[in-house]
């Protein structure tokens, strides 16, 4: 028996050529041995004896594997570069507002994405499936939640509501906004709705890396006011409001007048039938739970929006109650009528059927109670 020193296989027959690799039998080049039949592999690695065709096959597989790996890396690099280019293009495009049909991210479904669903997905928000607008400056601050941009567009801050002119915290909120945006560039971030019924842009304001809307709420200069399904920052806004309540920031400063005496015994916010035609079926009843009388002259009742009612001269007796109706009527005894004229006289209803907030404030504008009804 002998071995082929080329392919390493045993050969039973006496022959000069290996029946497996076809090579002439003998020692490999520059290998010398005096005992090739007994120790054909001694001092040599197995691959030294592989036949050439197997070596070539192995090298071919290695090359193919390397090519495939290079292809995968190249694709990943190209994709990342492409995404980065998209982001850069969007950020530098002064007219880039991503509306239906041109959101570039797969998470929003490409050309067929549903804008509402896109905004509800955190991943999409991170991938800028929102309005992207150029940095601008503020030319005028109208109040705490409305500004005018350097391009003359009016912006209504999303998710918040500040007090109106003449109310206790109005000037503080307006002045604070002026301080924060004066001589600075701001960034605008959109949400589901682009504009309100007055044509104002609905935006979150980012200044010095901070969300101005959230900051005003946290400082007690604004309350949370979510319109429609513009919910991008709702959790952060609600958290900020809780902080403001604990700190008794401006709009949350507690009244000492009849402290703890006035409550709500009944809140009927959904009138039967058409609210606009049956406004006096919208009403709220306040109860004095103490034995002392409470002077509520010039106290105000306000909803979550901007509807405000001011009480005339009135003393709410101890353990007494009064009812405030949304519609028209003549005040008598313990019955009062809001006589709200609505927006442009369209509807006199006050309270939202799906839930609203009652703010009761004393004659100094300090908070007596706030109550959310459903």
138-143 and 367-373 beta bridge pairing:
unpaired
Structure tokens at 57: 């096959």
Q: Is the pTM of this model over 0.85?
A: no
**Kind and range of the H or E run holding 119:** helix 115-120
* Known catalytic residue at 16: no
* Known catalytic residue at 24: no
The catalytically annotated residue of 164, 229, 242, 364 is 164
Q: How many other CB atoms are there within 10 angstroms of residue 137's CB atom?
A: 13
Q: What is the pLDDT along the chain (374 residues), one digit of tens a residue?
A: 666 766 777 766 666 667 767 666 665 544 444 444 444 444 444 444 444 454 555 566 777 878 778 777 776 665 555 443 343 333 333 333 334 444 444 444 444 444 444 444 443 444 444 445 667 899 999 999 999 999 999 999 999 999 999 999 999 999 999 999 998 999 999 999 999 999 999 999 999 999 999 999 999 999 999 988 999 999 999 999 999 999 999 999 999 989 889 999 999 999 999 998 999 999 999 999 999 999 999 999 999 988 999 999 999 999 999 999 999 999 999 999 998 765 545 788 999 998 899 999 999 999 999 998 87
* Residues in a beta bridge with 316: 294
Total residues found in the chain within this entry: 374
The catalytically annotated residue of 9, 171, 185, 200 is 200
The catalytically annotated residue of 156, 176, 203, 361 is 156
* Known catalytic residue at 176: no
* Residues in a beta bridge with 154: 148
300-302 and 335-337 beta bridge pairing:
unpaired
- Domains identified in the chain and CATH numbers: 138-252 (2.40.50.90), 262-373 (2.60.40.1260)
């Amino acid at each position: 028996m002998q071995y082929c020193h080329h392919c390493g296989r045993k050969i039973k027959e006496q022959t000069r050529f290996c029946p497996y690799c076809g090579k002439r039998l003998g020692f490999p080049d520059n290998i010398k041995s005096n005992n090739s039949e007994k120790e054909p592999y001694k001092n040599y690695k197995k691959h030294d004896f592989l036949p050439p065709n197997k070596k070539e096959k192995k090298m071919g597989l290695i090359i193919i594997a390397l090519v495939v790996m290079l292809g995968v890396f190249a694709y990943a690099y190209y994709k990342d570069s492409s995404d980065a280019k998209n982001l850069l293009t969007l950020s530098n495009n002064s007219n880039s507002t991503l509306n239906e049909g041109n959101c570039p991210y797969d998470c929003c479904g490409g050309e067929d994405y549903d804008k509402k669903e896109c905004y509800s997905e955190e991943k999409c928000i991170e991938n800028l499936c929102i309005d992207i607008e150029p940095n601008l400056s503020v030319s005028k601050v109208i109040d705490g939640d409305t500004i005018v941009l350097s391009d003359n567009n009016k912006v209504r801050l999303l998710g918040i509501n500040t007090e109106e002119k003449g109310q206790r915290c109005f000037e503080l909120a307006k002045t604070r906004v002026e301080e924060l945006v004066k001589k600075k560039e701001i960034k605008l971030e959109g949400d589901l709705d682009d504009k309100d019924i007055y044509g104002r842009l609905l935006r979150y304001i980012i200044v010095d890396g901070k969300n101005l809307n959230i900051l005003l709420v946290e400082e007690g200069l604004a309350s949370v006011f979510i319109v429609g399904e513009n919910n991008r920052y709702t959790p952060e806004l609600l958290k900020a409001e809780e902080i403001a309540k604990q700190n008794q920031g401006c709009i949350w400063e507690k009244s000492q007048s009849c402290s703890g005496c006035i409550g709500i015994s009944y809140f009927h916010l959904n009138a039967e039938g058409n609210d606009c035609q049956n406004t006096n079926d919208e009403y709220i009843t306040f109860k004095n739970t103490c034995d002392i009388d409470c002077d509520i002259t010039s106290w105000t009742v306000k909803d979550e929006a901007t509807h405000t009612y001011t009480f005339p001269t009135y003393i709410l007796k101890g353990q007494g109650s009064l009812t405030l109706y949304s519609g028209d009527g003549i005040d008598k005894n313990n019955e009062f009528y809001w006589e709200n004229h609505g927006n442009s006289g369209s509807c006199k209803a006050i309270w939202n059927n799906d839930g609203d907030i009652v703010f009761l404030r004393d004659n100094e504008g300090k908070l007596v109670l706030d109550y959310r009804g459903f």
